[in-house]
Amino acid sequence: MVRLLTLIALIGLFTRCEFDYEQLKPESFGEVGSVTIIMNTNILDTDVGKHLKTKMNKKIYGTFPAEMIHKTYYVPDDAKSNATNRQTEIVVIKIVPEDQYATPKVDTKYNIYVTNQIIITVTVNNLKTLDDFIEEGWDRLVLQPIEKFELEYIKNRTEPKRHKSSQKSLGNRFGINMVLPNDFVVNEDENNFIWMTRKETRQTEEGFTVWVQQGILVWQVDYLNESQFDPDSLLAQRDSVLMKKVPYEKKKGYMSTEYMEGFAPINKVHEDNGLYKVDLSGMWKVDGDPAIHMGGAFYQTSFYNQKTGKLVTVCAYQHAPGVSQRKLHLNMRAWVNSISLN
């Protein structure tokens, strides 16, 4: 009887262990926003390699000086190690000279070696096929899944410590939910407008300590027709709201939008969970007082909330002089993309 009970206990233990294998995996240690590409690195000296590096060296729009969206590390495929396998974002490029790979095969998997990990394997039959894939499929089948993973990763990390006090206003007045860090401070809370900010210190490369500020602006207007989604209309509305609602330095200056060539806002139209959205990216600045030199990147989205009959805009912005803005900008995009309707 004792042996039987012991056997049952052991079976239960092993069953539980099998069930918990995923939880027992170590966590990835690579920084989100850093991509490790495992490949034959001799290719990097060819035109195909230059094409690949051009794709991976895209800049964050609205930052100055310009900074790349991703840090990219190229690792020789014969030098892969346990440390490589524990990176957060991995792309593996394989060249297998077989006809079946004349059409590139893209395999995306998650949490293979560690938790919080994405591995995308691209298999092609030759360099020409790889070059064509980089041109036609890299953005959609590699970069977009990586971005989606990054945004979800930050959202999941923020969720346990989300800013709860703002949720009532966001829910009751705008009909939305957002996943925001709990160190945001609400500056203004009106019927159709909310302004929240957070501050932290960062070290510059020169060793100086600077204040970094990030903010969230939410406003809404009555939805009348589709013409309100025109980028020019959205920008006119944005500038009007900023001038009235976001003052700087004892209201001598106010937040505005930079329209200088190279920094003028760009737009993206897409659907997200059934919501038609227009995103705007660019740089903000302070107008009204030439003595104030502040600015930085912004990222905003606008959508129609059918339940409330309002056109809602959510804008994230940052002021981060002298420090890397890659992770800060990624956080902004994650906050804006965490929006869901009540």
Q: 25-34, pLDDT tens digit by residue?
A: 888 988 999 9
Q: Which pLDDT value is given to residue 10?
A: 47
Cβ atoms of residues 313 and 300 within 8 Å: yes
Closest CA to 341 of 295, 300, 315, 303: 303
**CATH number among 1.20.1250.20, 3.40.50.620, 3.40.1190.20, 3.40.1000.10, domain 163-341:** 3.40.1000.10
71, two tokens:
């840090």
77: left (phi over 0), alpha (psi -120 to 50) or beta: alpha
Long-range CB pairs of 203-207, under 8 A, 24+ apart, other chains included: 203/323, 204/322, 204/323, 205/322, 206/322
Q: Which pLDDT value is given to residue 23?
A: 66
Q: Which pLDDT value is given to residue 9?
A: 52
Cβ atoms of residues 179 and 332 within 8 Å: no
Distance CA 180, CA 338 (A): 8
Domain boundaries, the chain: 22-157, 163-341
How does the average pLDDT of the chain come out, rounded?
91
Distance CA 249, CA 241 (A): 17
Q: Which pLDDT value is given to residue 102?
A: 98
Q: Which pLDDT value is given to residue 74?
A: 98
Q: Which pLDDT value is given to residue 132?
A: 99
Identify the residue whose tokens are 């539980």: 16
Q: Which pLDDT value is given to residue 336?
A: 96
- Cα→Cα distances 91→34, 104, 150, 290, Å: 11, 14, 14, 47
Cβ atoms of residues 327 and 33 within 8 Å: yes
119, two tokens:
């591995």
Q: Which pLDDT value is given to residue 115?
A: 94
Q: Which pLDDT value is given to residue 321?
A: 87
> pLDDT below 70 — which residues of the chain?
1-23
